């Protein structure tokens, strides 16, 4: 968890979610955050092992919230 927090701070990410198959899900950071970047994680053989989602600091504009509801 500490390493995830350090990596999130180094990347200036507002929020990071890490899911690793067989090991669980880990999160750090808080809202508000926008612009998620999703990346599939693979092992050295190219097999999927999880997912990494990072979000940048920011707020969703009110107009977008109204459209999304």
* Residue 6 to residue 38: CA distance in whole angstroms: 19
- For 1-56, write each residue's pLDDT tens digit: 899 999 988 988 889 999 999 999 999 998 778 888 999 999 999 999 999 999 88
pLDDT of res. 62: 60
pLDDT at 68 over 50: no
Burial class (CB in 10 A: 0-12, 13-18, 19+), 59: exposed
Q: In this structure, are residues 16 and 8 in contact, taking their beta carbons and an 8 Å threshold? A: yes
């Amino acid at each position: 968890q500490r390493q995830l927090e350090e990596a999130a701070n180094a990347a200036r990410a507002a929020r990071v979610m890490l899911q690793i198959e067989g090991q669980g899900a880990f999160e750090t950071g808080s809202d508000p955050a926008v612009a998620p970047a999703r990346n599939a994680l693979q092992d050295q053989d190219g097999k999927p092992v999880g997912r990494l989602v990072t979000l940048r600091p920011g707020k969703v504009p009110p107009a977008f919230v109204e459209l999304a509801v």
